[in-house]
Structure 1
Amino acid sequence: MRNLILLFILISCTACSTNSKKMVNAMEGYWNIETVTLPDGSEREFPFSNHMDHFEIEGNNGVKNRVSPTYDGGFINYGSPAAFTWEVVDQDVVLTFKDGDSRYQQTLKKCDGSTLILLHDNGTEYIYKAHENAQE
């Protein structure tokens, strides 16, 4: 019985880790912000934006760049890239961004390849939609 319980715990941990890794890998690419919900519950919609976020993931590290599409189908970066690390904390995927002395975290609530939801540590929720015409 004890071995069965240990096996169940091991399988559960492995499944969580695999799902987390799949969600993080699905973040890679171009994302348009669709809605931002502030901690007070107010929402701001972005029906059209010429700016988007591009995520690159390598292992437990990543970079988020602000980009704008160009007329030839490419993208140009603007602003400074935001480097982050990710880890699983209490079954949540937590992204930790560091910019000089500044540090903040975002929790990856959902990423299925078409929708990305990030919850900032100040309570702001960002809902993204995958950019459809991205040529990587």
Structure 2
Amino acid sequence: MILLKNSILIFLILAITGCANSVSETQLNQLNGYWEIEKVSFPDGQTKEYTINETVDYIQLDSLTGFRKKMKPTFEGTYITSDDAELFTIFKLEDSYIIQYKANGSMDWTENLIAVSANSFSVRTSENVTYTYKRYEPINITE
């Protein structure tokens, strides 16, 4: 059973690393902070744009380990969240950085980090779906 799980994990990692990226280790710290999904690109060429998000992702990375949490912003500038977090580690495989998640009670999964900048990042799943995130900017309501 363990051999089967390891074989599946290796296959998934190889599948998502099919395209090399240009992410450097020094860019990884830019993942820290609040992010909202901007778009999802599917293997068939279709794209789904997100103009409004009820939740944002908070990522905290220290060295090559961290966590990701879903946060719901409020109009007061605070966030509502649960204690649930997706733990992850980042490792380099050939010319790519892989994010390996370990979630409580669910299956582990990996994503290929394909781009990182101060204001955006993109990951590709083993199903060849690309998620593009942009830095979250709180809504500023002034009276």
Which band: TM-score by shorter chain?
A: 0.7 to 0.9
**Range that drifts further, 64-73 or 96-105:** 96-105
TM-score by length of 2: 0.74
Q: What are the equivalent positions in structure 2 for 1:1-136 lying under 5 Å apart?
A: 20-78=24-82, 80-99=84-103, 100=105, 102-133=107-138
Whose relative contact order is higher, 1 or 2, with alpha carbons under 8 Å and at least 6 apart? 2
Q: 1:39: Cα distance to partner?
A: 2.5
Q: 1:60: Cα distance to partner?
A: 1.4
Check 1:78–1:41 CA distance in 2 against 1; reply closer, same or farther (3 A cut): farther
Contact 1:31 1:128 in 2 (8 A): yes
Distance 1:79 1:105 in 2: 22
**Range that drifts further, 33-42 or 78-87:** 78-87
Structure 1 residues not aligned, in runs of 5+: 1-18
The one-letter amino acid of 1:96's match is Q
Aligned identity (percent) is 23
Aligned Cα root-mean-square deviation (Å):
1.8
Distance 1:118 1:65 in 2: 16
Q: 1:20: Cα distance to partner?
A: 2.7
The one-letter amino acid of 2:136's match is H
Contact 1:95 1:105 in 2 (8 A): yes
Structure 2 residues not aligned, in runs of 5+: 1-22
Q: What count of residue pairs does the alignment treat as equivalent?
A: 116
Larger radius of gyration: 1
Distance 1:133 1:111 in 2: 21
Q: 1:88: Cα distance to partner?
A: 0.9
- Specify which structure has the higher proportion of strand: 1
TM-score by length of 1: 0.77
